[in-house]
Amino acid sequence: MSLHRYIRNSVSEWMRGKGPQSDIVISSRVRIARNLADLPFPTVADEHQAKEVLHRVEQVYRRGRDNPVLSDAKWISMADLTDLEKRVLVEKHLISLNMAEESRHGAVILSGNEAVSIMVNEEDHLRIQCLFPGFQLVDAWRLADQLDDWFEKRLNYAFDEKCGFLTSCPTNVGTGIRASVMVHLPALAMAEQLNRLLPAITQVGLAVRGIYGEGSEALGNLYQVSNQVTLGLTEDEILDKLQGVVQQLIQHEKNARAHLMEISPVQLEDRVYRSYGILANARVIDSKEAMSRLSDVRLGVDLGLIRDVSAHVMNELMVITQPGFLQHQAGQVLTPEERDKRRAALIRERLAQEKRS
């Protein structure tokens, strides 16, 4: 797959909406942080040391093309990307915002279906990410673990018998695993229950963040729920706790949806169709309103109120209406006003296309 294909293609595997519980769980991700034993971590490495990490990992990758997971993968250097191209990869959740903005000598290994993303010289030397649609944490972990074992046979990891795997951030020391689930919680937001539920999640050792992780806003009622600590916990304990909490969140959201359908079905349908009408006809719309309206329509699709739009189109629109995608498609940097016009036109065209198909 060419670099252009990764940037131009709007639909990654995780957006297709075909996984378990995909009406509420958008995606499941497992990320493993690892560092090389004999080189400083990226946060303190000099240019020569950072380039040495790149060289070693690239050599391992190129010698291991017999690995079926990496057979169609591509090595992409951050130095070869424009700022807009980096932003597109962030919006597709294939690299982190930190990687796009801070990594001086970084690269990413992307599999053909974009389910695997291995960041090199982000906050750690290696960040192995597996991203699956729906509620598939265990499957994402198995693939990430397989890749981790493969790299460990070829690279000497920084490891301490007492502390476990060593990482730049102390919260990742131990297993080095960060598991997360992106959930869509519009009914709980409408019922004003999130202010009670989300703080309770943090009290059991999990983190709740916005759509792009730490420091980002929860646009479109999308939240990432993840483990906060890896030291002192096994991989199974981390996954079991996260799965248990997410299952409870799913049930709360289902109950909230059923309650709304029972006590105010007309008002709910009116809200869904008002948002659909605005999206289908607006000439100007900013990203925050677009995400909010797309969230309403996605809820309507999941509840069967809207039947001529598919869930994966909603997932797609949540990505391609972001600033990076809009500007890359336009081939130039756009002002906020120009982006708002282009966003509205793109949504109108995509919804019209879906209705015709």
Residues contributing to the annotated binding site for ATP: 27-31, 93, 127, 178-182, 209-214
Where residue 123 falls (left for φ over 0; alpha for ψ -120 to 50; beta otherwise) is alpha
- Strand pairing partners for 180? 29, 226
N- to C-terminal Cα separation, the chain = 28
**Beta strands 206-209; 177-184: pairing state:** unpaired
Distance in angstroms (rounded) separating the CA atoms of residues 146 and 326: 36
Amino acid identity for residue 136 in this structure:
Q
> Cα 122–179–8 angle (5° rounding)?
55
The backbone torsions φ and ψ at residue 28, rounded to the nearest 5 degrees and listed phi first, read: -125, 135
Radius of gyration for the alpha carbons in the chain, expressed in angstroms and rounded: 21
Task: Please provide the size of the chain in residues.
Answer: 357
Write out the binding residues: 27-31, 93, 127, 178-182, 209-214
Q: What is the DSSP track for 106-128?
A: -EEEE-TTSSEEEEESSSSSEEE
Q: Give the residue among 91, 114, 116, 94 at the shortest CA–CA distance from 106.
A: 94
Determine contact, residues 88/74, Cβ cutoff 8 Å.
no
Residue 70 DSSP symbol: T
Distance in angstroms (rounded) separating the CA atoms of residues 177 and 4: 31
Residue 241 DSSP symbol: H
